[in-house]
Amino acid sequence: MKTGIIGLPQVGKTSLFRILTKAVLSEHALANPREAHLGVAKVPDDRLDRLAAQYNPKKLTHASVEYVDVGAIGQEALKESGYIGHLRNVDALAHVVRAFEDPSIAHTGDIDPLRDIKNVEFDMIVSDLGQIEKRLERLEKDLKKMRTPELEKENELLGRAKLHVEAERPLREMEMTAEDKKRIRGFMFLSEKPVLYVLNVNESTELGKDLEAAVAKYKLGEVAAKPNAAATAICGKVEAELAEMSDEDAAEFLSSYGLKDSGLTRLIRTTYALLGLISFFTIGEDECRAWTIPVNTRAVEAAGAIHSDLQKHFIRAETIRWDALLEAGSEANAKAKGILRLEGKEYIVQDGDVMHIRHSG
Ligand SMILES: Nc1nc2c(ncn2[C@@H]2O[C@H](COP(=O)(O)OP(=O)(O)OP(=O)(O)O)[C@@H](O)[C@H]2O)c(=O)[nH]1
Ligand SMILES: [Mg+2]
């Protein structure tokens, strides 16, 4: 899974990228705001950590998310093929919005997250509209030569998409059938991508409360409730300090601000929810590991996420919820208590399942 970090100039995109990925950027990379940065973030998961504490495996592997940090968005930037190419290729957008006050860091106008969001969305919509119009022109010519049902369907769909974006609405809000979605996928429209608005707020002594209240305070409730959208808040300054600490120090630091989780944990978790992703675990003395799958995935496909051979030769999945396993103390105990289930191919894997795939290969 890949997420693109976007936003207006100087809102904290690169700061967020560095905190998420702990990437160390060279002076050269930092001095080039137009250069994209790529990195990988570990998906924090307390459930996996607790399982690992019980199993003490040689290797502990969290799920991961790729991030790409691009320069500030704008209509000019969106005309550059390198820039837009990076963004087209992501599964989701993390849209960083400035809510922190700092006179030393330039921002166009007052702090107004809703206005900034609208402006950025507008730029993406304009970019998509250009692409739609270009394709429609081409289709008009092709349809004159040859009317195939496939071309006609595409023409109809893009005609609808055009009206939609002309009304200044992002494509992620357009109603589409699964077939429409498949047909439109190849265009990789920017305004179609699920978006997480990330408010970058001021540091404060009551940060826990302030972070919780931020979405309402800046009136993002409505935009976050739209289809394929969500909102969360972080404090870039505090997160940057956290990123440098050991886990123990970080926990103490968090509680001193009245926080349970870091903003990053919430950010990544919200992204998972937004994209309809869940985790299941495989555990053993060699490795404890988290795997990412879409909700409503059948056991046989989940096995395929681990290895295609496991999917091909799938027999059954020994399954137990992570917390039931912790309570039982071991798989052997769970088996003895009769709480280890044997699930077949059709079983819909649940978030937090621990699975052991039995196979014949
Ligand atoms: N006060 C304050 N400053 C911040 C915060 N987050 C980032 N900054 C500062 O804002 C400036 C811009 O941060 P960046 O992370 O480089 O922002 P950006 O969005 O990547 O900027 P461009 O790529 O140039 O558009 C830096 O000087 C940061 O130190 C914050 O939460 N509070
Ligand atoms: Mg930057």
Tell me the angle at which helices 236-243 and 263-274 cross, rounded to the nearest 10 degrees. 110
Task: State in Å: Cα 102 to ligand 1 middle.
Answer: 10
Secondary structure of residue 126 in the 3-state scheme: helix
Residues 6+ apart with CB under 8 A from 322: 47, 48, 50, 51, 281, 352, 353, 354
Q: Which atom of ligand 1 is nearest to the CA of 238?
A: 31
Question: Residues in the chain, how many?
Answer: 361
**Cα–Cα distance measured from residue 22 to residue 57, given in angstroms and rounded to the nearest whole number:** 24
Q: Which residue's C-alpha comes closest to atom 25 of ligand 1?
A: 9
Nearest to 116 by CA among 60, 77, 74: 74
Would you give the DSSP letter of residue 78?
A: G
Task: State in Å: Cα 162 to ligand 2 middle.
Answer: 32
Mean pLDDT across the chain, nearest whole number? 92
Tokens of 255: 């509680």
The arithmetic mean of pLDDT across residues 34-47, rounded, is 88
CA neighbours closer than 13 Å in the CB half-sphere of residue 119: 18
Q: Which residue's C-alpha comes closest to atom 28 of ligand 1?
A: 12
Bridge partners of 343, per DSSP, are 317
Q: Are 339 and 328 in contact (CB under 8 A)?
A: yes
In the numeric block, the tokens 């019980």 are attached to 54
pLDDT in tens, 84-138: 999 999 999 999 999 998 889 888 888 999 999 999 999 999 999 999 999 999 9
**Cα–Cα distance measured from residue 189 to residue 176, given in angstroms and rounded to the nearest whole number:** 14
Q: Tell me how far the alpha carbon of residue 6 is from its chain's centroid.
A: 13
Q: Give the predicted TM-score (pTM) of the model.
A: 0.91
Q: Which residue's C-alpha comes closest to atom 1 of ligand 1?
A: 102
Provide the pLDDT confidence category of residue 334 given band limits of 50, 70 and 90.
very high
**Cα–Cα distance measured from residue 334 to residue 340, given in angstroms and rounded to the nearest whole number:** 6
Q: Which of 140-149, 253-262, 324-333 has the lowest mean pLDDT?
A: 253-262
Q: At residue 188, what are phi and psi to the nearest 5 degrees? A: 50, 50
